[in-house]
Chain A
């Protein structure tokens, strides 16, 4: 069964403390790995799409990487405004649908 698993479920960091969020996938024939940010009470905001192993993309303090089994969202020197839930989704499988993980809730304390 095609699946996307995110870890940890929740992460608390001090401001400036770099870390990584993990997204493991078992999606056959992956056609894209997507990262979204979701603030409380709002819809997901698109961050990155990665298409092939080895690909990397950056935006401000965030960098997303992709291997054949997982993706990482690296957060460098986070600030409190980076606090949000980060969602990962893979497209592929028999139906080519987007399969979402349950997200990682990130809290960055000043």
Chain B
């Protein structure tokens, strides 16, 4: 098993749909993240969870709703998205939050989202 697994790998949804992205990490890490990757842009940090508590929300629109039931699982609930939300959504984890210590962040394979 890879360290961080994401499902689904590809998702096409209409603007009125509700869907969820799922992430699971098998590394025993305490922190999990959602990043957005768009073409020609740097990775954008969306949310940070530390010991399943949200510690950071980088002004992400409310149509993106994260959920972290435990330190190993992370969800991103999607509703009433816009076409400009189409991107690669990456889940990641690290031993401790990026704001402390010498942490390496490990990424999953990503979920390609297309909003039509």
Q: Do A and B bind each other?
A: yes
Residues of chain A having any CB pair with chain B under 8 Å: 4, 31-32, 34, 36, 41-46, 49, 51, 87, 89, 91, 95-102
Q: Digit string of B41-64 for contact with A (CB within 8 Å is 1, else 0)? A: 111010000000000000000000
Residues in B with CB closer than 8 Å to A44 are 43, 90, 107
Q: Which chain B residue has the least Cβ–Cβ distance from A102? A: B42
Are A96 and B112 interface neighbours, CB within 8 A? no
Which one of B40, B45, B92, B104 has the highest number of Cβ atoms from chain A below 10 Å of its Cβ? Answer: B104
Give me the interface of B with A, judged by CB distance under 8 Å: 4, 6, 40-43, 45, 90, 92, 98-100, 102, 104-110, 112
User: Which label, helix, strand, loop or mixed, suits the secondary structure of the A interface?
Assistant: strand
Name the B residues within 8 Å of A101 (CB-CB).
42
Other than the given A41-B110, A46-B104, A97-B99, 19 more pairs (CB < 8 A) read: A34-B105, A36-B107, A42-B109, A42-B110, A43-B90, A43-B108, A43-B110, A44-B43, A44-B107, A45-B107, A46-B106, A46-B107, A49-B104, A95-B99, A96-B99, A97-B45, A98-B98, A98-B105, A102-B40
Distance in angstroms from A82 CB to nearest chain B CB is 19
